[in-house]
Amino acid sequence: MITELPDTTTKDISKLLVRLRSETGAMALGRVMTLIIVVDEGGADDAVEAAIHASRQHPSRIIALVAGSGRGASRLDAQVRLGTEAGGSEVVVLRLYGELTKHGASVVTPLLAADSPIVAWWPGPADDVATSPIGQLASRRITDASQGGNPRKALHRRRAEYAAGDTDMAWARATRWRGLLATALDLPPYEPVTSVTVTGATDSASTDLLAGWLAVRLRCPVRRARSAPGTGLVHVRMERKSGPIELDRPDRRTGTLTQPGQPDRRLDLVRPGTAQSLAEELSRLGADEVYREALVKGLPLVTNARN
């Protein structure tokens, strides 16, 4: 069920939600969180659809704050979705215009589900998220460094501005790689890693975070090498006395894990989509200390190749 409320107020939206739940039997009691999406008009539809898919694993109240034109009179248009149109969620899309675009936190506050954690997600470029009005409402803040013109620069800005509860979609996209490399090190021979080379696209924030994570965890020199833009994570080589462990993905789809004394393994390493990455980030509602270590402590330890 989709209901449009043009030129409305948060009071009218709240009344509509109560009435629709009564009519459809939908209950908010099982919602585990409120997810606030901060997005512009161009990215709104894709972001809402990704959140709806993610909510099938993490039932939520989804509130999308869509910034329209800041010129002209203030106006609030709303769309409310319940039932099959909303996946496992209640979805409220708020389109703000005029002076109201500067007061998203005030608009969204009356619609927050009581006593539930608040997660904020910026699908596009974002600055100073922890100190922003929406960021201060949230216990967890999700950004996506890959959406900026310079993902690596955006990631280093995330590091400079880090606050407990921050995370980035680039971290979720490296999860499969982290799991495979950790598993490989759990197999004999149990030798220390003496050096690591991580190769990925010049615009791959996931490559940088993976390199930072390895630098912290293995406490050995880690070199970040470059591949062509758009190629994503390509290759990891971990040197050991008996021979290297290598994870290679030349085609952005299938990877090969090789290590001494073990048969080569062909693995699915397709880059996870937005909904899948968002669902993974929503599985943790507190601070992610491993991400913090990779970002804050690990990145400065990585040597960047000049070529």
Interval 29-57: pLDDT, tens? 456 799 999 999 999 999 999 999 998 88
Last residue of a domain, one of 123, 150, 168: 168
What is d(CA 207, CA 217) in angstroms, rounded to the nearest whole number?
Answer: 15
Which pLDDT tens digit goes with each residue over 286-299? 899 999 999 999 99
Tally the domains of the chain: 2
pLDDT of residue 115: 81
37 shares its domain with 138: yes
Find the domain containing 92 and state its range.
Answer: 2-168
146 shares its domain with 178: no
Last residue of a domain, one of 142, 168, 194: 168
Cα separations in angstroms, 225 against 153, 236, 237, 305, 306? 16, 10, 11, 5, 8
Number of helices (H), then strands (E), belonging to the chain: the values are 10, 15
Other residues' Cβ atoms within 10 Å of the Cβ of residue 235: 18
DSSP H or E segment with residue 99: none
Residue type, position 4, single letter: E
Last residue of a domain, one of 168, 192, 213: 168
Q: Is the peptide bond before 189 cis (omega within 30 degrees of 0)?
A: yes
pLDDT of residue 306: 64
Q: Is residue 307 predicted with pLDDT exceeding 90? A: no
